[in-house]
Amino acid sequence: MREYTRPAAVALGVFDGVHLGHRAVLNAVCELYRKKGRLACALAFRTEDMISVKSSSGYVYPSAVRRRILYQAGIQHVYAPVFSDIRSMDGRTFAEEILYQKLYAKDVCCGKNFRFGKNASCDIHDLEQFGKWFGFRVHVIDDVIIDEIKISSTEIRSLLQNGEIEKANQYLGQPYQIWQEVTHGAQLGRTIGFPTINQLFCENQLVPKFGVYASETEFSNGQKFKSLTNIGMKPTVNYQGLPLAETYIEDFSGDLYGKFLTVRLLRFIRPEMKFASVKALTEQMTKDLQS
């Protein structure tokens, strides 16, 4: 059964992070929409599924965040099958049943290292052959290179783990973001004049280097505020062992519990520190805000 009723241009990949290399593939699909009227589609396996497929330090973005970014990049439809449902398909079956029959693909865009089929047995040359059989054209997109470095999810994970947020943002094409529901905390920040919001990272998600970041917080209505975000663990509150982002929003007061906010990390300020007193903590936070 067809997912779409008009011919599609389909971007293939995991798109974890939706970095500049991914965006080159997505831009090719969007260009086919403008030139040929193709439906701009991304076939993107769920990032949560991929953690079990190969050894990894974790996925950059949960699928819900990645989906938002894909739409913002101009993609009209995202097809995200459960990987276990199709992992045993051979390459021909994938091309016929998923690309041809389900997605009505007439153009398929991917990077030159894209692999598919059971045990990743097929490459772009196989995809081109299947395209001849099933009526779609394959567009192979070149890697994006900056300063002799190939932009990849692996490179971005490394940068995030090392706190090199500005370079990670450059490679992502936009600031790294946390889009999660605001959850209840111990509300200790209120007692020292710095009320904060808490957002949990997901299980198996890569977490940027623990420490304090200059950030920007955006509400669902588009309002933006300067903010300060601490990433780390919070032993005083039971979060099932999950790390979290704790953000102080400058010049704002109000109840944000249960709301989804976007926090963008802009600059790494300092690692986590232990303070001898509340006074020392408040003095350091004041300095952080001014840095």
Which CATH number is associated with domain 175-290? 2.40.30.30
Residue intervals in the chain for CATH 2.40.30.30 = 175-290
DSSP code of 72? H
Is the model's pLDDT at 259 over the cut of 60?
yes
Tell me the C-alpha distance between 125 and 33, whole Å.
Answer: 24
Tell me the C-alpha distance between 216 and 82, whole Å.
Answer: 33
Taking the CA atoms of 178, 181, 182 and 184 in sequence, report the sign of the dihedral they define.
Answer: negative
Residue position matching structure tokens 């997912």: 3
Residue pLDDT, tens place only, 69-101: 999 999 999 999 888 888 899 999 999 999 999
Q: What does pTM read for this prediction?
A: 0.89
CATH topology of domain 8-150: Rossmann fold (3.40.50)
pLDDT greater at residue 283 or residue 113:
113
Tell me the C-alpha distance between 140 and 145, whole Å.
Answer: 16
Q: What pLDDT score does 237 carry?
A: 47
Rounded to 5°, the CA angle 280-285-291 comes to 125
Residue intervals in the chain for CATH 3.40.50.620 = 8-150
CB atoms within 10 A of CB 8: 30
Residue pLDDT, tens place only, 271-289: 876 655 555 566 666 666 6
